[in-house]
Structure 1
Amino acid sequence: MLIFRQLFDASSSTYTYLLGDRLSGEAVLIDPVFEQTRRDAALLYELGLQLRWTLETHVHADHVTGAWLLRDRTGSRIALSCHGGAKGADRLLEHDDRVVFGERYLEVRATPGHTNGCLTYVLDDQSMAFTGDCLLIRGCGRTDFQQGDAATMYRSVHEQIFPLPGNCLLYPAHDYRGLTVTSVDEERAWNPRLGGDSSVGDFAGYMKNLGLPHPKKIDVAVPANLNCGQPAEGLADAGDPHWAALTFTFGGIWEIQPHVLEEAGERVQVIDVRQPEEFDGSLGHIRGARLIPLDQLAARSGDIDAGRPVVAVCRSGTRSAQAVVMLQRAGFSEVANLAGGMLRWRAEGCAVEGGAA
């Protein structure tokens, strides 16, 4: 069974696609974004997937790829077009290559026109394809810089994408209107630039008169992406917490495991956000924990030492996850949720005060 997720980076309007083979647990990511590597790694972990490949549809001009960071964190490998000009990839892809993950594979189709190194990835059963900036939803990528050529793009679309089955779903690298997916039949019929009876001359005239502004991040993104997104030395883990070994969840919360919190000792302040009867009830509480019920936390956040890391605790980890969000809004930067709450704390044999035997 195929696992499929469409992810979005709002700042660059970039879609990242996760495809996983449930049986083997192997996965690929298409067009990962540098700032979203924590999110992507968390999703892989929560779905029980091992990332085998990060794939680029092209050398992007609007965001920096997360490929290098993901390789550093997960051991994945980087693949992109042999015509992209990038250094540091583990594999340079050519037309008709296959990228295998478990029992599934993506077929590589060269679709230049936006750049020389543009690729479209077609799933083995041709039920979906990932078109990058070559074909967007009722549009296409620009052809006025970075080796762009309108006639080449026209041929790429009409020779490599439009011949796919009509019900093949097409997933672009970007959308700026909130649209998520289209199909070959739709774009053949309704794409105002490339569909219907449009000729290569019609398309070239359309693209010549787009008048688009220069991409905002091009001066940073292109050089970085020609290095597969490798950051400057010392920046690979920039922004990651160093006060404890934490796990970032797909829900956007930093979590600490019970044994890690127990080892941290007094370096960390524990805020229990349950009600008083729970704090003194059958589960007991963590030694040294301070009781501030969740419904009082916003008003009393000023009573918490902002100079020491904070761990929020509740029965199961649900209310304390909300406590983390509230504390972050209040300006706390070093804050985490106890994974599994007091239920997990007790189940793992960690020390408690009070509670039932």
Structure 2
Amino acid sequence: MIFRQLFDAESSTYTYLVGEEGTRQAVLIDPVLEQVERDLRLVDELGLVLTHVLDTHVHADHVTASGVLRERTHCTVVGGVGGAACANVQVRHGDSVRVGPLTFQVLATPGHTDDSVSYLLGDRVFTGDALLVRGNGRTDFQNGDAGQLYDSITRVLFALPDATRVYPAHDYKGHTVTSIGEETRHNPRLAHADREAFIHIMENLHLPQPKKIDIAVPANRACGRAASPPQGA
């Protein structure tokens, strides 16, 4: 398996490229509009064919590249039910997405947003904003629900084997990966807090709105095509 973790510095977003060595089919998870050229160049350099884009949710802090990538590569755009209606496939908990012989299992992990999903591939799980390294996504917009997020993390993600590697959609402190076992033991919001305490924490964060929320949310509900693409896209 070919695996690359890519980073957008402006939004602190991780994009993941996963490719299959035999068929050369590949998927991009949570691509960023401004990084279209970088990502397509890497796909080409590695001799891959982009067949799928997986978005974990409708993002509020950056614009997805899914629409532009679909236009340029004819890939299939996948997102959670209740998210972007323009996605080719809207997935639910228990669904699977096949990329060559690779099978991504869909885990519904709402709470950050109501359409949030995670994608499990063997011993790796791509959690979007639901579970971060020593943190989790906020729950104060886009139908977020702190209790629902607590349930998604503790009942769905924490039910995975401890050794499962967690690849989030963001990090703001330089971390690149964690594991389910690490987060059950060391996540400050979850390791020693019950559901009520977690809800209290999330209701009292008092964070500023994401800078791009007014642009990003409507754009992402249109697979990124409501925003102006970067030059050359």
Q: Which amino acid aligns with 2:185?
A: A
Cα distance in 2, alignment partners of residues 194 and 161 from structure 1? 12
Name the residue aligned to 1:121. 119
Q: How many angstroms does 1:33 deviate by?
A: 0.2
TM-score by length of structure 2 reads 0.97
Q: How much is the aligned-residue C-alpha RMSD, in angstroms?
A: 1.2
Cα distance in 1, alignment partners of residues 155 and 226 from structure 2? 37
Task: Tell me, yes or no, if structure 1 residue 225 matches structure 2 residue 220.
Answer: yes
Name the residue aligned to 2:49. 50
Name the residue aligned to 1:75. 74
Contact 2:14–2:168 (8 Å) recurs in 1: yes
Task: Tell me, yes or no, if structure 1 residue 212 matches structure 2 residue 211.
Answer: no
| 1:186 paired residue among 182, 197, 201 | 182
Name the residue aligned to 1:257. none
Name the residue aligned to 1:294. none
Question: CA distance change for structure 1 residues 142 and 41 in 2, over 3 Å: closer, same or farther?
Answer: same
| 2:156 paired residue among 138, 153, 160 | 160
Cα distance in 1, alignment partners of residues 74 and 88 from structure 2? 11
Q: Which amino acid aligns with 2:12?
A: S
Cα distance in 1, alignment partners of residues 197 and 77 from structure 2? 37
Residues paired across the two proteins, number: 233
Q: Which amino acid aligns with 2:130?
A: C
Task: Tell me, yes or no, if structure 1 residue 200 matches structure 2 residue 209.
Answer: no
Q: Which amino acid aligns with 1:140?
A: N
Q: How many angstroms does 1:231 deviate by?
A: 4.3
Q: Which amino acid aligns with 1:81?
A: G
TM-score by length of structure 1 reads 0.64
Mapping for residues 4-153 of structure 1, pairs under 5 Å = 4-84=3-83, 86-123=84-121, 125=122, 127-153=123-149
Name the residue aligned to 2:232. 240
Following TM superposition, the consecutive aligned residue runs of length 4 or more in structure 1 with deviations greater than 4 angstroms are: none
Q: Which amino acid aligns with 1:12?
A: S
Contact 2:218–2:226 (8 Å) recurs in 1: no
Cα distance in 2, alignment partners of residues 19 and 172 from structure 1? 14
Tell me, what secondary structure is at the counterpart of 1:117? coil
Tell me, what secondary structure is at the counterpart of 1:29? strand
Cα distance in 2, alignment partners of residues 26 and 226 from structure 1? 26
* 1:117-172 deviation digits (Å, cap 9, x = unpaired): 0001000x2x1100011000000000111111111000000111011111110011
* 1:293-334 deviation digits (Å, cap 9, x = unpaired): xxxxxxxxxxxxxxxxxxxxxxxxxxxxxxxxxxxxxxxxxx
Cα distance in 1, alignment partners of residues 140 and 151 from structure 2? 16
Cα distance in 1, alignment partners of residues 65 and 141 from structure 2? 23
> Is there any run of 5+ residues in structure 2 with no aligned partner, and where?
none
Larger RCO, structure (CA 8 Å, separation 6 or more): 2
* 1:323-347 deviation digits (Å, cap 9, x = unpaired): xxxxxxxxxxxxxxxxxxxxxxxxx
